[in-house]
A = this chain, B = another copy of it.
């Protein structure tokens, strides 16, 4: 009886030479595709491909913004490749700030684990600001591609985890996009209406040239 069922078991997929695709752990050494990294061979996949411990460690907040973002996107955690989801950790020391930024490819949901955080986003249709102070256990959703920010609203450190609707959400931090590259100051001023002194000051701080 055992034998015959086992026999069936192998028969059921008599034509299957490669089987179905339950997951596609990214192989970062192969070329990328528009849908994500190419897949590691299934035989080489272990449970460790689906587990990531990098978010268990606080990021370094001994910095000017007094905050750190630690991503677990497909590039750091190849197990999420192709699965439509990823995460990151936010650490905010007192007065810490995650500066104004967007995720070009994903919506985000944030959960406060410790402390309190003032978070907000700005709609594109009418420039309306949606912001609120969030406490431990509160969650907030940030629609895809919109400018948003997080500020430590308490006296102690704050900790939050964020999840994204894509394994490659992207992260475009406004100040770095404007001031941490070689885009000529003249162009920046034209397209942002900022004063020359302001632009040059922030370029100086953030390492921009031209």
Contacts and interface: CB of A to CB of B under 8 A. Distances in A.
Interface of A: 1-2, 4-9, 11-24, 27-28, 30-39, 41-42, 46-48, 50-57, 59-60, 63-65, 68-73, 75-77, 79-87, 97-100, 102-109, 111, 113, 118, 120-132, 134-147, 149, 151, 161, 163-166, 168-178, 180-183, 187, 190-195, 198, 201-202, 204-207
Contact of A36 (B34, B105, B113): B34
A77 B80 CA distance: 24
16 contacts: A7-B63, A12-B68, A20-B171, A21-B170, A22-B125, A33-B33, A33-B39, A47-B120, A52-B138, A53-B135, A77-B139, A104-B143, A122-B172, A129-B183, A147-B174, A147-B178
Contact of A177 (B15, B32, B71, B147): B147
B33 A111 contact: no
Given A5-B206, A63-B7, A75-B19, A149 B191 contact: yes
Contacts of A178: 100, 122, 147
Nearest to A175: B193
A183 B147 CA distance: 12
Given A99-B191, A102-B102, A105-B144, A59 B129 contact: no
B172 A192 contact: no
A52 B84 CA distance: 22
Contacts of A118: 187
A20 to B, nearest CB: 4
A22, A63, A64, A202 interface centre (most CB from chain B within 10 Å): A22
Contact of A108 (B12, B85, B165): B85
A168 B36 CA distance: 17
Contacts of A113: 113
Contacts of A81: 34
